[in-house]
Structure 1
Amino acid sequence: MIDNPVFYAVAVPVLMLTGISKGGFGAGVGIVAVPTLSLVIPPLQAVAIMLPILCLMDIFGVWSYRREWSRKLMLYLGPGAIVGIGIATLLAGYVDEHMIKLIVGGIAVLFALNYWLGGRNRDVQRPENRTKGIFWSAVAGFTSFIGHAGGPPLQVYLLPLKLDKTVFVGTTTVFFMAVNYVKLVPYSYLGLLTAENLLTALVLAPICPIAMLSGVWLHRRIPERPFYLICYVFVFLIGCKLLHDGVLGVSGMT
């Protein structure tokens, strides 16, 4: 178990923010958890500690939205994510994390800007497209494996569908529960789930229900239009954060 008090001073507020974001908006701000924790512990250790915590948060999320998610969407989003995780596992030793951040960050920023600058077309509901759904869910599975950064790619597909806000969050929650539990297998194979990391996650576990249920409470009280506006703002800010981290990482390598 990590015995550095500075780590816990950083981890507690970050995990609260992550849980509120997951429980209330389906993903979003929680993407900053790994970069923030990496300020005080090695990045790979931050990723490893976060996975059991995310798995525990997912249990509370899925229970809260157990009757309010799209089974139809998950029939093809789930398999797409597994393909993405499989590819990421095979390429784990070759993937440039910083380039992935640049690509995902660029997609997220352009996606949000396209919505805001789209005029009257921005509120048009897009029809389901299985091919696009499988592609973006595979990208989400891939980026989630690399750094728990699967939110923006999935939202690129889901947000334009204009789902009921609760179905949107419920489907996102079920999606990432499936993704995170599948990731346990390759993470274990790669030796990331050490006793120290698991014990640290266990110490932080009591935060999970408090943060997730706080997010669910907020979700039930935010009207649908402001909810989607907040989601697009989250996607934009997360994209900016990923671009920032990617640029710093690439420049540090040169």
Structure 2
Amino acid sequence: MAPILSDPLFYLAAIPAVILVGLSKGGFGGAMALLGVPLIALVVPPVQAAAILLPILIVMDVVSLWAWRGFFDRRLLAIMLPGALIGITIGWLTAAVVTEGHVRLIVGVVTFLFFMRWVVDKVRSGERIANHSPYKGFFWGTVSGFTSFVAHAGGPPYQVYALSLKQDPKLYTGTSVVFFAIVNAVKLIPYFALGQFDATNLTASLILVPLAPLATLAGVWIVKRMKPQVFYPFMYTMVLIVSLKLIHDGTANLWGW
């Protein structure tokens, strides 16, 4: 048996990570999802942590697609998904030269600025409701695909575009579920090509996967009972937490803290 499969510390880190990611995949805020890989990376290398988590994410995506069936914005998906596919390809081609630290730091700063713009809009004249923009959507879709591949941090760039549309919480969540289900499925191809799915990692994923549907459905249950007046302030709070977490992790990675 591989060492990690018999190590209690692995499960102490991995079980809470899967639960937090599952709640997030159910729609309960993106900040918790960003804790998944770092938690598992406390006991295994970060790349291995990401490889173990990806098959579990696929299972969570299947559960989320069922739970949020019928709720999605076709236009948003048509605008953002082509960019996301390009972003994944860029991440694959640059995997050997782009560091996770740089990506997390850049995404963190951009996301923090997005949060601050929302705060300024609230103070000045209330929240602005944006319309669909093919150019902005394609750009943020590309960034989301790239950061999702490199650092499992595709949520913040997606939110920069999608949250500004002020959609009904169910429509927003259902659309994000479809978007990331497709992104994660496509990511399987380059992950396989890069040799990330060996027997040890897949066995670890299989052991943890029963937690996936339970945590995801718990997140769905919570979100479906949240009013827009609660949902959006909560989501923007999560955006702030995500941005600070990414800035911290990126800086720590680059400076070797």
Smaller-chain TM-score range? over 0.9
TM-score w.r.t. the length of structure 2 is: 0.95
Q: Does 1:42 align with 2:54?
A: no
Match of 1:210 in 2: 214
Counterpart CA distance in 1 for 2:52 and 2:204 is 7
Deviation at 1:66, TM superposition (A): 1.2
Aligned length in residues = 253
Deviation at 1:54, TM superposition (A): 0.5
Structure 1: gaps spanning 5 or more residues = none
Match of 1:140 in 2: 144
Tell me if structure 2 keeps the 8 A contact 1:81–1:138: yes
Which residue identity is paired with 2:142?
A
Deviation at 1:121, TM superposition (A): 4.2
Correspondence 1:20-169 to 2 at 5 A: 20-25=23-28, 27-118=30-121, 119-169=123-173
Name the % identity: 43
Counterpart CA distance in 1 for 2:168 and 2:38 is 31
TM-score w.r.t. the length of structure 1 is: 0.96
Counterpart CA distance in 2 for 1:122 and 1:182 is 38
What do residues 189-216 of structure 1 show as CA deviations (whole Å, max 9, x unaligned)? 0000111111100100110110010001
Question: 160-169 or 20-29: which moved more?
Answer: 20-29
Q: Does 1:13 align with 2:16?
A: yes
Counterpart CA distance in 2 for 1:53 and 1:242 is 22
Counterpart CA distance in 1 for 2:6 and 2:147 is 30
Secondary structure of the corresponding residue to residue 196 of structure 2: coil
Tell me if structure 2 keeps the 8 A contact 1:101–1:246: yes
Deviation at 1:117, TM superposition (A): 2.5
Aligned with residue 198 of structure 2, among 176, 194, 197: 194
Q: Does 1:231 align with 2:235?
A: yes
Deviation at 1:25, TM superposition (A): 3.3
Question: 117-126 or 32-41: which moved more?
Answer: 117-126
Which residue identity is paired with 2:47?
L
Which residue identity is paired with 1:82?
L
